[in-house]
Amino acid sequence: MGKMMDFFRRYAKKNSEELDLIRQYFNDCLETINDNNLYMLRKSCMYIAIVYCLMLVVAKFLLKNFAMSFPYLLMIPLLLVYFQVNLYTIKHRGDISTGRTAAICCTFYFFLGVILGIIDVVEAPAGQALWLPIAVIALPMIFIDRMYKYGFEELVVLAIMLSLSYKFKPTEQFIRDVYISISAYVISMLSARIILEMRARETLAMAEVTRLSALDKLTQVLNKGALLQRIENYFETKPPEECCAMCVIDLDDFKHVNDNLGHNTGDVLLEQIGKLLSVNFRAYDIVGRYGGDEFIVVMPKMSDPEILKSRCKALQMFISEIELPHEHRVTASIGAILCSDVSDVDKIFRMADDALYKSKIEGKNCCTIWTYQNRVIEKPTLLVMCEKEHQGLIDLKNDEGHRFDIVVAKDDDEILRDISEYQKYLKIIIIELDLEMGMGVFALKYLKTREGFSEIPILAVVNNEKDYMLAKELNVDDVLDQKTPNPVFKKTIDKLIGG
C-alpha cells in the first residue's frame, strides 16, 4: 500500500509539473501558437478540399447509386468562405489577435464537425458514424488549444451528431454511435494532453535557445545583433502616434578601468551594469549592449521629458554606487531622444549619439535629452542661434526666406539638437557669439570637434572685439559685426555656401 501511495504521489507531482509546463507554453508562446494555428488552418482547408474531391470521384466509380446529396454540398460553401478567410490571414499576417485567431479556427472546425456529423447520420442511416469520430481524434493534431476548450467543442459537435442519430437512426445504430463517440472523445483528450506536453517542451526549449542566443554572455542583456533587430521591429510596428525614448549610455573612462584595474575588473563592472539595466527598466523596454561599454535602451510609451530625465539621473546614481578597488568612482554619460511619428531608427540613434557626445564634453556623468521636432523641411536650411528675435533676424528672414528654410534656436542646447536633426539639409550655421552671456561658445567648441559637423560652414556674429577674437580662436569660417549691412551679410552667406 505504501509503495502504491508513493507511486501516486510521484505521478501527481509529475502531472502537476506537466500542467505547469503547458500553462507556461500558453502564457509565453501565444504568438507562435497563433501562427501555427493559422498555418494549419490553411493546410487543413487545402487538404480537406483535395480529399473531398478525390472521395467524390472514388465514390462515383465504386459505390452504386451514389449521388451528390445536400450534406455533401454543405462542404462547398464552408471551403469557399474559408478560402477568403485564409487570404485575409495571409495578408494580415502578424496583425491578427489571439482572440480573432481562436474565433476563426474554432468556427471552421465547429462547422466542419457539424457537416461531418450530418453526413454520418443522413448518408448512412443504417451504418455506424465514421467521419466525425475520425475528425474528433485528429483535431488535437492540427489545432492547438487548451484542454477544456478541446473538450467543450468536441462535446458540442458530438452531441449534435448524436441528437440527429437518435432521431433518424435505429436504436441499435444510435447505441453504436454513442459508443464510437465516447471512444473517439476519450482518445482525443488523451492524445491532446500528450501532444500539448510535447509541443510545450519543444517550443519552450526552442524559445530558451533563442533567448540565450540573443543575450550578451557577460551582461545578460541583448547582444548587438538582437538589440538592433528588436529596435528595428519596434519602430516598424509601433503606432505612429506612440511616443518613445532612445537612450545611449556610455561608461566614462572605462579604458582607465581596464588599464589600471585589470580586464577582470572591467568585466565585473560591465556585468553589474547589465544587472542594473535589467532591474531599473520595464519588462517591455528594449535593453542591450551595443558594444564595449556602450548600452542602448529604448522605452516605448515614454513621452514626458521630466520622467525620462529622472529615470536617467536615477540610473547614473545607481551606477555611481558601484564599488571598485582603490575607490575608483564609476560614472556614465547619457544621450537620450524623445520622439514620435518617426520610423527612421538610424536617424534617432545618430541624434542620441550626438546628445551623448554633448554630455561627454560637458564634463561626463551628464545627461542630455533632446526632443525630435519632426519639422517638415522643403528647402536648404539656414540655422540661426540668437537669444531673441531682433531686426537683424527679421531682415534675414525677409531677404533669405525665399531660398532657405530658416530655423531659429535660442541657446547652445537647441542649436546642437537642430544641427543633429537637420544635418543633411544644413547649408550654413549663423551663431550670435556673446562671451559675457556664455552664448555660442559651447556650441562652437562642439561643432569643431564633432566628426561630421566640422564641415558645415559657420558664420559668427559678434558685437565687440573680444567676441571677435574668440570667434577667430574657435576657427569659425567667417565673422561679421551685428551692424554689418544686409548686402554684405548676403554676400558672405553666398561665399560660405559656394553660391
Q: Is the pLDDT confidence value at 493 over 90?
A: no
Pick the last residue of a domain from 212, 244, 263.
Answer: 212
Closest by Cα among 177, 168, 41 to 101 = 41
Same domain, 292 and 430: no
Is there a domain that residue 376 lies in?
A: no
Same domain, 208 and 229: no
Pick the last residue of a domain from 338, 371, 404.
Answer: 371
pLDDT-derived band at 164 (thresholds 50, 70, 90) equals very high
pLDDT-derived band at 455 (thresholds 50, 70, 90) equals confident
Average pLDDT value for residue range 217-221: 88
Same domain, 204 and 237: no
Q: Which of 45-49, 230-234, 332-336, 401-405 has the lowest mean pLDDT?
A: 401-405
Same domain, 237 and 173: no
Same domain, 257 and 360: yes
Same domain, 43 and 192: yes
φ and ψ of 84, to 5 deg? -70, -40
Is there a domain that residue 349 lies in?
A: yes
Is there a domain that residue 219 lies in?
A: no
Is there a domain that residue 217 lies in?
A: no
Contact 441, 459 (CB under 8 A): no
Same domain, 242 and 206: no
Contact 234, 300 (CB under 8 A): yes
Same domain, 296 and 315: yes
Average pLDDT value for residue range 216-236: 89
Assign residue 460 the CATH number of its domain.
3.40.50.2300
Average pLDDT value for residue range 262-280: 90
Within 123-146, residue ranges assigned H as helices are 131-142
Q: Is the pLDDT confidence value at 341 over 90?
A: no
Is there a domain that residue 218 lies in?
A: no
Q: Is the pLDDT confidence value at 399 over 90?
A: no
Domain range enclosing 313: 224-371
Q: Is the pLDDT confidence value at 495 over 70?
A: yes
Is there a domain that residue 462 lies in?
A: yes
Same domain, 74 and 117: yes
Pick the last residue of a domain from 306, 341, 371.
Answer: 371
Q: CA-CA distance, 492 to 499, in Å (whole number)?
A: 10
| Domain count across the chain | 3
Same domain, 50 and 152: yes
Is there a domain that residue 121 lies in?
A: yes
Q: Is the dihedral of CA 188, 193, 194, 197 positive or negative?
A: positive
Q: Order the strands of the 458-462 sheet from edge to edge.
A: 405-409, 381-385, 426-432, 458-462, 478-481
Q: What is the pLDDT of residue 499?
A: 57
Q: What is the pLDDT of residue 2?
A: 66
Q: What is the pLDDT of residue 6?
A: 74
pLDDT-derived band at 21 (thresholds 50, 70, 90) equals confident
Same domain, 181 and 263: no
List, for residues 106-124, the tens digit of each pLDDT value.
999 999 999 999 999 988 7
DSSP 286-331: EEEEEETTEEEEEEET---HHHHHHHHHHHHHHHHT---GGGPPP-
Q: Is the pLDDT confidence value at 286 over 90?
A: yes
Average pLDDT value for residue range 68-88: 88
Same domain, 208 and 323: no
